[in-house]
Chains A and B, each alone.
Chain A
Amino acid sequence: MIKAAEAMVKCLDQEGIRVVFGYPGAAICPFFDALYASDIHHVLVRHEANAGHAASGYARITNKPAVCIATSGPGATNLLTAIATAYADSIPLVCITGQVSTDQIGGDVFQEADITGAAEPFVKHSYLVKDASALPRIFKEAFYLAGTGRKGPVLIDVPVDVQNTLIDFSYPETVQMRTYKPTVKGNPLQIQKICEMLQSAKKPLICAGGGVFLSGAQDELIAFAEKTHIPVVSTMMGIGILPSAHPLYLGMLGMHGTASANTAVHECDVMLLIGARVGDRAVRSPKFLAESTTIIHMDIDPAEIGKNISTDIPLVGDCEAILTAMTEKIGDMPDNPWFAELAEKRKDTSVYASYGERINPKAFLRELSAKLPDNTVCVADVGQNQIWSCNHFGIREGGRFLTTGGMGTMGYSLPCGIGAKMADPNREVVVVCGDGSFQMQMMELATMMQEGIAVKVVIFANTRLGMVREIQTLRYGDRQMAVHLNGSPDFAALARSYGMDAENAYTEAEAYEKMQKLVDSDKPYLLVCHVDPLEPTLS
């Protein structure tokens, strides 16, 4: 017999977990005590939300469920934003929280929060563990649920007395669930129909979303597009499936997307949606689109098909398997003259021309990405900085672009970058954020220094909550309300006080000189690029 808390650690071992992100408290102490005796590496973040975001970064690089931990009550509620973010972005997490002891549940005792209740809208599934002997089964199920089908966060809430109960430990080899059975293989008849539809299309287009990464189907998608010569647009979550400069890639679609991508969406006659849920930022009027276009929708989650856009041919399944089958089936397709017109639109370079003295963030990001290694991971926060990164940070083969396209949670980038770097320490990780979002996460500089990992940080400081300022300028008569970031510290000096190398850049010349330092350094480095408060997102 062993303590259930030890059994929980053994479960993580069995799942191959080497790193966890968390923050302790009384109700989770038995579990931390068991971690003390294990060789799983615990990363102490500085706020529980960041444990979740860091686990998200880790999970996105490994494409396996990652683990975050918080205590009961305020610890658990702090974690909630990260759980909701992972849910919106379909990121596989196993979230472990401590809970007050079983006999106290429901008594409004110290640090009690009904976290399974509060998190219900944002989890794929949750467990409030009352029977310690069920823990091995629950962990097995939780990892399986988080990492299969439509991926997402699973919460395990464990009362402190349950953690201290003695149990017989054996880890189940298989999951036995009579309810949950995700569809993986696509229906062959539908696949045949889709191939025929695409071959008879005049202006076929692929729209690829985050589901392609979750399925690990990047190579399969590229192979399919290259065989058929069908151009590809991506959602924000799908950025990086194709390298930015791939001849068939037209960029991100939607409200903040490229002209070439949006023209393609507007003009295409058949659209193949792959692992994309047609969110409102990507497609503003799905009704209109569906009227003029034949919609083929492939997704692992049946509920996404027909939810936001009506579909002519639905196909439920894992896109890796489906794309492999489709590439085999489909006949050769000739080069499409339509595509040549679209490609022309990509050639407009005016938005990232030099401003001379001032820093053009779009040009800066292009230059920065060109200097960094091919397999760099770029993590963008939320706001103008994010859109600039989406459209201008060039992703090459093997590179990744991470951001929260689904939830748009400010303060995601630095903890996500820390998680990504821990998952693959040899890869360069660069975090891009604004001076607003940086202040929602700057406590994580300490985590980074404590872990001794070299994440690079770029802050575009515009002394505004820029994205909101722009909305106010354009739609509220420029009545700028609650968007001024007066009172900010010198971020470079702050970073230096953590022991990091950090500098300010006010001009283009300075920015490029310091960019080189950032690129050459093998240590953590923070660069504050001061940009114009009125710098627009797109033009």
Chain B
Amino acid sequence: MKHTISILVENHAGVLARISGLFARRAFNIDSLAVGMTSDPSISRITIIADGDEHTAQQIEKQLNKLVDTMKVRSLPAEEMLSRELQFIKVSATPAQRSEILTICEIMGAKIADMCTDAVTIEVSGTAEQLDKMHELLKGYGIKEVVRTGVIAIQKGSAVLK
């Protein structure tokens, strides 16, 4: 089962190594990891998608809480959160194919970020399902490269993590 875990940590050197090291040595699997600053520059927010049963998820939370750099850990239930991922997809495209691709992008809410004679780079953000769908639609043109940021997530409504 997938768990979306949001973590607030002190923003200083070595913190990410501590978090990722903890996952590795306790045999917790990370599917995705994203880090960024929060509105307070001394605090970073990490979003991790982890795989495991309920016991593993509980242990992950508790072990993360034990790290001295950790300020807050919360596992976000799927129905109570919004999650997004940003992705670049570079596909082969002859000039003749460009307008088709552009149409797909419009329908899917994606953007052309860059273009050259034989390829276009598409920028798309969304949920995992939306991104999978985009892949499906572009597969036929020949996907040359994909870059993803990892998922970020936030609670719905007025609740905040602090």
- In angstroms, Cα B58 to Cα A118, docked, is 26
**Are the CB atoms of B14 and A128 closer together than 8 Å?**
yes
User: Is B21 at the interface (CB under 8 A from chain A)?
Assistant: yes
User: Is A121 at the interface (CB under 8 A from chain B)?
Assistant: yes
**Are the CB atoms of B62 and A303 closer together than 8 Å?**
yes
**Are the CB atoms of A307 and B65 closer together than 8 Å?**
no
- In angstroms, Cα B12 to Cα A125, docked, is 14
- In angstroms, Cα B106 to Cα A492, docked, is 87
Q: Tell me which of B17, B62, B71 contacts A178 (CB under 8 A).
A: B71
**Are the CB atoms of A306 and B10 closer together than 8 Å?**
no
- Can you give 6 A-B contacts (C-beta < 8 A)? A121-B21, A128-B13, A150-B66, A179-B10, A179-B68, A301-B66
Q: Tell me which of A120, A179, A302 contacts B21 (CB under 8 A).
A: A120
Q: A128-B14, A306-B55, A306-B58 are in contact. Are A179 and B63 (CB under 8 A)?
A: no
Query: Top 5 closest A-B pairs, CB basis?
Result: A303-B62, A125-B68, A179-B71, A180-B68, A121-B25
User: Is A362 at the interface (CB under 8 A from chain B)?
Assistant: no
User: Is B149 at the interface (CB under 8 A from chain A)?
Assistant: no
- In angstroms, Cα B18 to Cα A145, docked, is 17
Which of A287-323 touch B at CB < 8 Å?
A: 301-303, 306-307
User: Is A392 at the interface (CB under 8 A from chain B)?
Assistant: no
- In angstroms, Cα B69 to Cα A124, docked, is 11
- In angstroms, Cα B68 to Cα A301, docked, is 13
- In angstroms, Cα B21 to Cα A303, docked, is 17
User: Is A116 at the interface (CB under 8 A from chain B)?
Assistant: yes
- In angstroms, Cα B90 to Cα A325, docked, is 66
Q: Which B positions have Cβ atoms within 8 angstroms of A?
A: 10, 13-14, 17-18, 21, 25, 55, 58-59, 62-63, 65-66, 68-71
The chain A residue with its CB closest to the CB of B59 is: A307
Residues of A within 8 A of B62 (CB): 302-303, 307
User: Is A177 at the interface (CB under 8 A from chain B)?
Assistant: yes
* CB of B105, distance to nearest CB on chain A (Å): 43
**Are the CB atoms of B17 and A303 closer together than 8 Å?**
no
- In angstroms, Cα B66 to Cα A301, docked, is 8
* CB of A115, distance to nearest CB on chain B (Å): 12
**Are the CB atoms of B65 and A302 closer together than 8 Å?**
yes
User: Is A117 at the interface (CB under 8 A from chain B)?
Assistant: yes
Residues of B within 8 A of A180 (CB): 68
Q: Tell me which of A120, A177, A303 contacts B59 (CB under 8 A).
A: A303
**Are the CB atoms of A303 and B63 closer together than 8 Å?**
yes
- In angstroms, Cα B9 to Cα A180, docked, is 11
* CB of A61, distance to nearest CB on chain B (Å): 26
Which of A168-190 touch B at CB < 8 Å?
A: 177-180
**Are the CB atoms of B58 and A120 closer together than 8 Å?**
no
Residues of A within 8 A of B25 (CB): 121
Residues of A within 8 A of B17 (CB): 117, 120
- In angstroms, Cα B61 to Cα A306, docked, is 12
**Are the CB atoms of A303 and B14 closer together than 8 Å?**
no
* CB of B63, distance to nearest CB on chain A (Å): 6
* CB of A398, distance to nearest CB on chain B (Å): 34
Residues of B within 8 A of A302 (CB): 62, 65
Residues of A within 8 A of B63 (CB): 303
Residues of B within 8 A of A128 (CB): 13-14
- In angstroms, Cα B65 to Cα A301, docked, is 10
- In angstroms, Cα B18 to Cα A274, docked, is 29
**Are the CB atoms of B59 and A124 closer together than 8 Å?**
no
The chain B residue with its CB closest to the CB of A120 is: B21
* CB of B115, distance to nearest CB on chain A (Å): 40
The chain B residue with its CB closest to the CB of A301 is: B66
* CB of A138, distance to nearest CB on chain B (Å): 12
Residues of B within 8 A of A121 (CB): 21, 25
* CB of B15, distance to nearest CB on chain A (Å): 11
Q: Tell me which of B58, B65, B66, B68 contacts A177 (CB under 8 A).
A: B68
Known: A120-B17, A303-B62. 16 other contacts (CB 8 A): A116-B14, A117-B17, A120-B21, A121-B21, A121-B25, A124-B68, A128-B13, A150-B66, A177-B68, A179-B68, A179-B70, A301-B66, A302-B62, A306-B55, A306-B59, A307-B62
* CB of A73, distance to nearest CB on chain B (Å): 19
The chain B residue with its CB closest to the CB of A127 is: B14
- In angstroms, Cα B69 to Cα A180, docked, is 8
Give per-residue flags for A119-131: 1 if the beta carbon is below 8 A from chain B beta carbons, else 0.
0110011001000
Q: A117-B17, A120-B17, A128-B14 are in contact. Are A303 and B71 (CB under 8 A)?
A: no
Q: A120-B21, A306-B58 are in contact. Are A145 and B65 (CB under 8 A)?
A: no
